[in-house]
């Protein structure tokens, strides 16, 4: 007897399924919708938050003013109520930076694990959908050694369709110059917002850190999703392994037994270095294993979002 195959629905909580199962749902639009529906149904409280970008001044409290905007520190000093005013009351403006370099097209186990780019595109689509549903604005820039696609920051239902349409055909190519994309974004931003970088961080590390810190210094909230394939953390169970750099074409064959421990330690040290050099500057850094459900990354995003409320 054969069992009828059924396409998973939001009721199945597909956000808890592995990426391979999710890929059976179909295109990026359907997967993102199903993941977000299932994920939000599983939350105990609403993730919706407001965001006010530019503080302008204080004024004396008047009857009917929103109590959320009372400046309690000023009250403690003066024993009088003052209300915060803003230059422009607005929702969050988010900017997605998507790495589409050659290394993002790699999977340690094709057919079982998705590529890092597959994961990044679907994660970006999920975050964009959550943002747009709560009235925020979202833009996107895809880059390798240069920016190859850009969607200007807007809100509304049509924006998500446009984001997905422009992300879906992106393929891995070229080297990685994240610092160039970050500098380009910094020059274009006229208002504080949230910058989300999705990359495997096989980049010029110091230049990229400097660019990220520059954005944070200028008042932007910054969240880095470091996508890591499980095969990048641990060498395969084999006598020899061949290392291949997809961006340069260089190859190196080594004895696995001789370097297994050193390799594991080096990877751990590299991840720890990213965290050590970003978090003290107020930059959120999350390592995302591409074998994990997308919900793990969405929870990291919501933790950041809650701090903006």
- Give the model's pLDDT for residue 306: 67
Predicted TM-score (pTM) of this structure: 0.75
pLDDT digits (tens, 9 = 90+) for 102-114: 999 999 888 888 9
Same domain, 99 and 157: yes
If one counts the domains in the chain, the total is 2
- Give the model's pLDDT for residue 199: 96
Alpha helices in the chain (DSSP H): 19-23, 28-41, 72-78, 116-133, 157-167, 178-188, 205-217, 230-233, 256-278, 294-307
Same domain, 224 and 139: yes
Q: Do the domain assignments include residue 2?
A: no
Q: Do the domain assignments include residue 4?
A: no
Task: Round to whole Å and give the CA distance between 298 and 196.
Answer: 12
Taking the alpha carbons of 176, 177, 179, 181 in that order, is the dihedral positive or negative? negative
- Give the model's pLDDT for residue 135: 80
Task: Round to whole Å and give the CA distance between 11 and 230.
Answer: 29
Same domain, 33 and 78: no
What's the 3-state SS for 103-167?
HHHCCCCECCECCHHHHHHHHHHHHHHHHHHCCCEEEEEEECCCEEEEEEEECCHHHHHHHHHHH
- Give the model's pLDDT for residue 297: 81
pLDDT digits (tens, 9 = 90+) for 17-26: 677 777 767 7
- Give the model's pLDDT for residue 22: 76
DSSP string over 249-266? --EEEEEHHHHHHHHHHH
Q: Do the domain assignments include residue 5?
A: no
Give the chain's residues under pLDDT 70.
1-17, 24, 39-57, 59, 63-66, 85-91, 235-248, 254-258, 304-309
Residue 240 is part of a domain; what is its CATH number?
A: 3.40.50.410
Same domain, 72 and 136: no
Same domain, 250 and 134: yes
Same domain, 65 and 160: no
Domain containing residue 73? 55-86
Same domain, 41 and 65: no
- Give the model's pLDDT for residue 98: 97
């Amino acid at each position: 007897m054969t069992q009828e195959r059924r396409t998973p629905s939001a009721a199945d909580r597909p956000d808890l399924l592995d990426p391979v199962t999710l890929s059976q749902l179909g295109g990026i639009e359907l997967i993102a919708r199903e993941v977000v529906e299932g994920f939000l149904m599983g939350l105990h409280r609403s993730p919706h938050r407001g965001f006010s970008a530019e503080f302008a001044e204080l004024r004396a409290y008047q009857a009917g003013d929103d109590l959320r905007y009372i400046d309690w520190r000023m009250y403690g000093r003066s024993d009088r109520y003052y209300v915060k005013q803003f230059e422009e009351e607005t929702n969050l403006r988010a900017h997605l930076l998507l790495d589409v370099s050659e290394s993002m097209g790699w999977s340690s186990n094709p057919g079982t694990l998705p590529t890092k780019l597959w994961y990044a595109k679907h994660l970006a689509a999920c975050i964009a959908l959550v943002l747009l549903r709560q009235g925020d604005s979202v833009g996107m820039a895809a880059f390798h050694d240069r920016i190859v696609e850009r969607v200007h920051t807007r809100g509304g239902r049509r924006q998500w369709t446009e984001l997905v349409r422009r992300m879906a055909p992106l393929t891995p190519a070229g080297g990685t110059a994240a610092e160039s994309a970050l500098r380009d974004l910094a020059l274009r931003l006229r208002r504080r917002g949230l910058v989300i970088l999705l990359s495997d961080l096989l980049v010029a590390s110091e230049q990229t850190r400097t660019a990220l810190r520059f954005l944070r210094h200028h008042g932007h909230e910054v969240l880095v999703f470091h996508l890591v394939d499980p095969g990048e953390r641990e060498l395969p169970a084999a006598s020899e392994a061949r290392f291949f750099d997809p961006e340069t074409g260089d190859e190196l064959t080594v004895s696995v037994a001789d370097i297994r421990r050193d390799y594991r330690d080096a990877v751990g040290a590299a991840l720890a270095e990213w965290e050590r050099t970003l978090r003290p500057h107020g930059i959120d850094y999350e390592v995302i294993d591409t074998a994990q459900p997308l919900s793990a990354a969405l929870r990291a995003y919501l933790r950041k979002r809650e701090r903006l409320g």
